[in-house]
Amino acid sequence: MLKYNTSEGEIIISILAVEDFIKKVARSFREVKDVSPTISLRGNDGLSISLKIKIWSGVQNLPVALEEIQKEIRCQIQDMLGIEHIYGITVIIAKDSFVQRNTPARQRSISSKQIQQEEVESTAATYNDLDNDYNA
């Protein structure tokens, strides 16, 4: 868990909430079929991220596409979750990571920078659930 102290009290963000948030951000790119994030804590307020990603076949210039995903994840985590200390985002493309697409592509492309409002609201609900679990 990531812990922050504020003038109003303590803020705790669970690793599972961060992983869920990362999945939503990464899956908002039409090139990403699936992602499995692993978070490593670095102190009380920092983390390192490792992503195992499955990509739809046909992605052009894979290193550039993955760098855009890394940047978006970093930006969203810093902006939405307030986690400033991200020490690295490692992307792993392993065997069987390229998947043939049988359905139409989602609307978002690599150049898009905004996640869907419903995803933000869903993540906010996750934090409310965490708060309820913590206070129970």
For the chain, which domains are there?
2-99 (3.30.70.1350)
Amino acid 73: pLDDT: 97
100 compared with 25, residue with greater pLDDT: 25
**What's the pLDDT band for 3 if we cut at 50, 70, 90?**
confident
43 compared with 26, residue with greater pLDDT: 26
3-state secondary structure the chain: CEEEEECCEEEEECHHHHHHHHHHHHHCCCCEEEEEEEEEEECCCEEEEEEEEEEECCCCCHHHHHHHHHHHHHHHHHHHHCCCEEEEEEEECCCCCEECCCCCCCCCCCCCCCCCHHHHHHHHHHHHHHHHHHHC
Query: Percent of the chain beyond pLDDT 70?
Result: 73
pTM (predicted TM-score): 0.70
**CA torsion 31→71→49→127, rounded to 10°?**
-90
Exposed/middle/buried for residue 20 (C-beta within 10 Å: 0-12, 13-18, 19+): middle
Query: Tens of pLDDT along 64-105?
Result: 999 999 999 999 999 998 888 999 999 999 777 787 876 555
pLDDT for residue 118 is more than 50:
no
Query: Tens of pLDDT along 98-117?
Result: 878 765 555 445 544 444 44
Amino acid 94: pLDDT: 77
